[in-house]
Structure 1
Amino acid sequence: MSIGNSPDGNFPEDERPFEDDREAEQLSIGRALRQARVEAGLTVDDVSNATRVRIAIVQAIEQDDFAPCGGDVYARGHIRTLARAVHLDPAPLLARYDAEHGGRPAPTPAAPLFEAERIRPERRGPNWTAAMVAAIVAVIGFVGFTVVKGSDSGDGTKTQVAEGSTPTTSKPVAKPTDTKPADPKPDPSDSAIAAAPQDKVTVQVSAVDGRSWISAKDHNGRMLFDGLLKKGDSKTFQDNSKINLILGDAGAIQLYVNGKKIEDDFQPGAVERLTYTKGDPQVG
């Protein structure tokens, strides 16, 4: 039994050259990765799920198309990741990629990046936006407080102006006994109605059995009131000649005209159009 080469010039089986390895070295990067993936029994989806590299990029790299990678740095990273996933040594593939694409990209200096991150907070200017927002909020708060305070102090005046010269309150305001009597304008009360002047028409409308919408106009057609009268509320209107009324729910309303109670039996829910003049109550 001889040791070494056989007489016919053939090598022992365990000393033959690695022809498969040489063939693999001649494969392109993409073909080498694809062949290793197939031999490992993996699909493109398997490799994509394992590496989190998108399927389209895996397929492009296996076809030696590195454009979808977005640059040499990303292409080298994908090659390294895919090679490890299919059990290949990434070093030869990376060396081939560098040789075919102009060499390994220069690393980005770490110091300037660190300095930029360190210096950036120091160059910040004052936060003018926050200051302006705070100033605007303060101004709005002051204006709102002023408006609310003015509204609280002017409620009585607003009511009087909205109703014009027409008396609208249903009950007189209690006043101290030592205060001078107020201007003897007729108030919407039974005593005021009883003392209604003879040269004018005075109409008191009271919602005694519920609420009702009412409308009141003078002899010129000027609107004296148009709105909802809630239960317990009362309105009094005066004119030199005539008062025209519309009652949305006449059954809920009690009328006093020129000091006299109107005894008409208005039906609940009935709409009544009424006209009253000077002297005895007259329904127009």
Structure 2
Amino acid sequence: MSIGNANSPEEDRPSPDDGSADRPADGPSIGTVLKKARIVAGLTVEEVSSTTRVRIPIVHAIEQDDFTRCGGDVYARGHIRTLARAVHLDPDPLVEAYDAAHGGRPAPTSAAPMFEAERIRPERQRPNWTAAMVAAIVAVIGFAGFTAFSGGEDTGKKPVAEGSVSPKPAPTQSGGQPAAQPSPATPTVPKPVKPEPTDSAIAAAPKDMVTVVLTAADGESWISAKDHSGRTLFDGTLQLGDSKTFTDKESIDLVLGDAGAVQLFVNGKEIKDDFESGQVERLTYTKDDPRQGQPQAG
């Protein structure tokens, strides 16, 4: 049974018109080739969607040769290449088959209109540096003449405005040395106290229950969580910074689409496994875990 079916609304399923009119008559269609390769690789549609970032309804539609949900030929070619690489196929023959069924690759846009626009564009006028230099010289000569004319006046005395207060002399110590002025007190700001890290991410995890906390610490990840009876607790994408908590009296089954992006706590203890980015992991935990920090096989 596919894990991610609960995350695909009925209205997002591809329409019955799957583009069968565009399939080549001399071999299997593009969607059929991609679907068979995915099944041979042992991957589900949800796992392919998680690793390629192509939405689940679009993967379903392409496998049924419905390319109307791709948003155009450019996006359709890109999705075909991405899905082919995910299932270990050479994408070039599939893209060529798509081009042959949809009128071929569009012709490149001619650059002639751009050159025509450049030819008729008016030439920008350059600044008149000669006029600017003449104006600067005139300004310098005028300033020099004004300075020479007013140089005979006594500039040693500085007039004091009427009603102004003359500055008081600084207090001196014995011997004529100026006394030290007290500096204003600088208020001290207390430094924030960082909380000490604890071994438990959950203050009080119930002893008779299994408690699993998932946090998308390094990026978004598609996850699925089920209880011991197989009932789905959550099936969707955990955005960056989001957290989910799951509890059950016996066990929690997990599927992580990108295990390297998820921070995992089980019964109050962090599970520190070296999951790689983009790695799909199936995990199972009980109320007795973690056992020496290792999850059970899923």
* TM-score normalised per structure 1: 0.33
User: Per chain length, whose mean CA-contact separation is higher, i.e. which structure has more relative contact order (CA < 8 Å, sep 6+)?
Assistant: 2
Provide the TM-score with structure 2 as the length reference. Answer: 0.32
Say which structure is richer in helix.
1
